[in-house]
């Protein structure tokens, strides 16, 4: 069974599987790439002074997948030689577990680093996914960015952070 | 016409439901996503605070508040996101 | 058997092992980190217009290990919350195989991305390792940077590229 | 005094050996890494072109050309590096 490049699901994430999906994809021609950069987002035991016990992630799944596709398309436009794989986990996550796994490949390392960083920044900006934090003393929905995929300023900020 | 409203994260907690079916009376003008939101905010006053920070989607595609809706549409309201 | 954080050897590289060495290291306290960034350098089938058949890597091993330690120390100084694992392979490498595997962990993703990128830039600047390229029609030793760990300009350039 | 010289990559190819033992006559002044290099460049004229681009090490630590060497030292000459 082939692993999809873009996915959202409840099972534990496997970085090798995400990177492997990319290397096995027909878009990866053998020998063309000199760099693979991966990012793994982990659940921390602390957040703005609170002791975190666990997280619950929720998503609007069909729209989240479309957001991932959009991010991959933006990367193909901005870094034509780079390709992306991105898996996000939802449901209950314990401290230290991975919530998101991203891999980017490219002939040159600069593009792979930039594409990987850009991807996680854009996930945080436009993917319809929410984090419910259970901490010592209570729980809270984390609310970050108002999702607007057409916001050119947000996209430019993600490019800036990616050091593009 | 009848639409399905989907709510996520704290919006869902406020409304006490992830999914609501709503009947909309046809008005003089076309009904928009914004009309659905305002009806919802009347039902659940706590939602009103989200007016400026929500995003919306129609049939699992991002859509603006002025998007005209049709019978059977699935309309989603999304509080600020926090994936990653 | 524990995997060292810094290593040089002839066996194939394993990204999970490199990242695992870092997560198992006592310097990693459970739940403290929100980000793991990895870099894998792969042998490409082309280089400046030449069709590459394979590479042979050679190193001055004891000095290379000291160079890796120096890079880890520079990272600890520049990004105190980030930690590093770095394995470099030597000997004959075929197209598509990994020559270097790097993992960086940190509470925040910005530091993990910067530390990982800085590490590969510094490896290329100061690690006493050489690449012998066998291409269609000949072979050539690749000569890059004159290694000088005390060159402040080179170090500043690596920080710049790391988008620090 | 006797030292071991280690050569890498193309320097090794030029000299035809990865390791050389060399006896150095004690001069009026202390013998430096640079002295060893110049003696080697006389033996293997092709090395001379590397004068400005090599790095050097003594006992597996980077050391400058003016580093004073002692009996038994291992001196390494490193062409520009290309790891990664």
Domain CATH code at residue C125: 3.90.1170.40
Say if pTM beats, i.e. exceeds, 0.95. Answer: yes
- Separation of alpha carbons A93 and A40, rounded Å: 14
- Give the model's pLDDT for residue C138: 98
Q: Is the CB of D58 inside 8 Å of chain C's CB atoms?
A: no
Average pLDDT of A143-155?
96
Residues of the domain holding C113: 6-162
> Nearest CA of chain D to the CA of C31: how many Å?
31
Q: Is the CB of A142 inside 8 Å of chain C's CB atoms?
A: no
Total number of domains in chain C: 1
- Higher pLDDT: D56 or A1? It is D56
- Separation of alpha carbons D81 and D84, rounded Å: 10
Touching partners of D (3+ C-beta pairs < 8 Å): C
Helix (H) or strand (E) holding B82: none
pLDDT at D79 > cutoff 90: yes
Touching partners of C (3+ C-beta pairs < 8 Å): A, D
Question: In the numeric block, which tokens belong to residue B42?
Answer: 């009347």
Q: Which of C36, C41, C35, C37 is nearest to C13 (CA)?
A: C41
pLDDT (tens digit per residue) in B6-62: 999 999 999 999 999 999 887 768 899 999 999 999 999 999 999 999 999 999 999
pLDDT at A125 > cutoff 80: yes
- Give the model's pLDDT for residue A152: 97
Average pLDDT of D71-81?
97
Task: Say if A1 falls within a structural domain.
Answer: no
- Separation of alpha carbons D62 and C66, rounded Å: 10
| Spatial contact of C124 and C145, defined as CB atoms under 8 Å apart | yes
Helix (H) or strand (E) holding B77: strand B74-78
> Nearest CA of chain B to the CA of A29: how many Å?
29
pLDDT (tens digit per residue) in C21-63: 999 999 999 999 999 999 999 999 999 999 999 999 999 999 9
- Give the model's pLDDT for residue A2: 87
- Give the model's pLDDT for residue A59: 98
Split at pLDDT 50, 70, 90, the class of A120 is very high
Task: Say if C1 falls within a structural domain.
Answer: no
Closest CB from C30, C40, C120 relative to A95: C30
- Give the model's pLDDT for residue C48: 92
Contact call for A148 and B54, based on CB within 8 A: no
pLDDT (tens digit per residue) in C53-109: 999 999 999 999 999 999 999 999 999 999 999 999 999 999 999 999 999 999 999
With beta carbons under 8 A apart, name residues in chain D contacting C66. 60-61
Q: Around C138, how many Cα atoms within 13 Å sit in the side-chain half-sphere?
A: 6
Task: Say if C155 falls within a structural domain.
Answer: yes
Task: Say if C102 falls within a structural domain.
Answer: yes
pLDDT (tens digit per residue) in D5-51: 999 999 999 999 999 999 988 776 889 999 999 999 999 999 999 99
Between the CA of residue C55 and those of A41, C7, C9, what are the distances in Å? Answer: 34, 19, 15
Split at pLDDT 50, 70, 90, the class of B70 is very high
| Spatial contact of C85 and C16, defined as CB atoms under 8 Å apart | no
- Give the model's pLDDT for residue C2: 87
- Give the model's pLDDT for residue C27: 93
> Nearest CA of chain B to the CA of A116: how many Å?
13
- Give the model's pLDDT for residue B24: 87
Contact of chains D and C by CB distance (3 or more pairs under 8 angstroms): yes
| Spatial contact of D46 and D27, defined as CB atoms under 8 Å apart | no
Nearby residues of D30 by Cβ (< 8 Å), 6 or more positions away? D68
- Separation of alpha carbons D38 and D41, rounded Å: 5
Q: Is the CB of D18 inside 8 Å of chain C's CB atoms?
A: no
Q: Is the CB of B49 inside 8 Å of chain A's CB atoms?
A: no
Task: Say if C84 falls within a structural domain.
Answer: yes
Closest CB from A100, A124, A130 relative to B9: A130
Split at pLDDT 50, 70, 90, the class of B68 is very high
Closest CB from C59, C62, C146 relative to D55: C146
Nearest chain A Cα to B56, which residue?
A147
pLDDT (tens digit per residue) in C112-136: 999 999 999 999 999 999 999 999 9
Contact call for A63 and B61, based on CB within 8 A: yes
Domains recognised in chain D with CATH numbers = 2-78 (3.10.20.30)
Report the alpha-carbon angle B71-B72-B75, nearest 5.
105
Report the alpha-carbon angle B36-B41-B45, nearest 5.
170
């Amino acid at each position: 069974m082939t692993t999809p490049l873009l996915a959202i699901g409840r099972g534990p994430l496997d970085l090798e599987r995400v990177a492997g999906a990319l290397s096995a994809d027909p878009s990866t021609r053998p020998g063309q790439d000199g760099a693979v950069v991966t990012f793994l987002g982990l659940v921390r035991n602390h957040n703005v002074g609170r002791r975190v016990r666990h997280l619950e992630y929720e998503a609007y799944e069909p729209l989240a997948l479309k957001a991932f596709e959009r991010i991959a398309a933006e990367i193909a436009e901005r870094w034509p030689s780079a390709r992306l794989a991105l898996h996000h986990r939802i449901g209950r996550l314990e401290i230290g577990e991975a919530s998101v796994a991203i891999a980017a490949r490219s002939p040159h390392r600069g593009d792979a680093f930039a594409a990987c960083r850009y991807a996680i920044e854009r996930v945080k900006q436009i993917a319809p996914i929410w984090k419910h934090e259970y901490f010592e003393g209570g729980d809270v929905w984390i609310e970050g960015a108002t999702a607007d995929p057409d916001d050119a300023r947000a996209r430019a900020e993600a490019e800036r952070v990616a050091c593009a | 016409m009848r639409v399905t409203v989907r709510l996520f994260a704290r919006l869902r907690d406020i409304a006490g439901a992830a999914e609501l079916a709503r009947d909309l009376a046809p008005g003089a003008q076309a009904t928009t996503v914004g009309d659905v939101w305002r009806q919802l905010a009347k039902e659940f006053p706590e939602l009103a605070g989200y007016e400026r920070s929500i995003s919306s989607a129609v049939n699992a595609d991002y859509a603006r508040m002025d998007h005209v809706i049709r019978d059977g549409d699935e309309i989603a309201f999304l509080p600020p996101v926090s994936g990653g």
